[in-house]
Amino acid sequence: MPDHSVVLFPGMIKPLRLARVYGYLIQRAEGLYHPGGSQPICTMAMARKMVEGGWLKQYGQRYEPTEQGLRAAE
């Protein structure tokens, strides 16, 4: 985890909740989507901030919530 932490912004709650429900989110050109979703739930800039802050972990085009991210979504 980085030396600095990224504060949990209100715009991060919905993506983290959906990541908790579905187990992961999918990267497409303009943002992150839940599996089967047709509308982005957040921008790629927000996704990068969540990865940087330790809320999500990136595996290729798949983003999974970390333990910290799972707790934040409660």
If you average pLDDT over residues 21-49, what whole number do you get?
A: 95
Residue 19's nearest CA partner among 45, 56, 54, 51 is: 56
Chain-centroid distance of CA 8 in Å reads: 11
User: Could you tell me which residues come within 8 angstroms of residue 64 by beta carbon, excluding any fewer than 6 positions away?
Assistant: 19, 23, 24, 25, 56, 57
Give the DSSP letter of residue 39.
S
What's the pLDDT score for residue 49? 93
Q: What pTM value is reported for the model?
A: 0.86
Residue 73's pLDDT is what? 66
Reported confidence tier of residue 43, pLDDT bands at 50, 70, 90? very high
42: closest CA among 21, 65, 11, 66? Answer: 11
pLDDT band at 3 (very low <50, low <70, confident <90, very high): very low
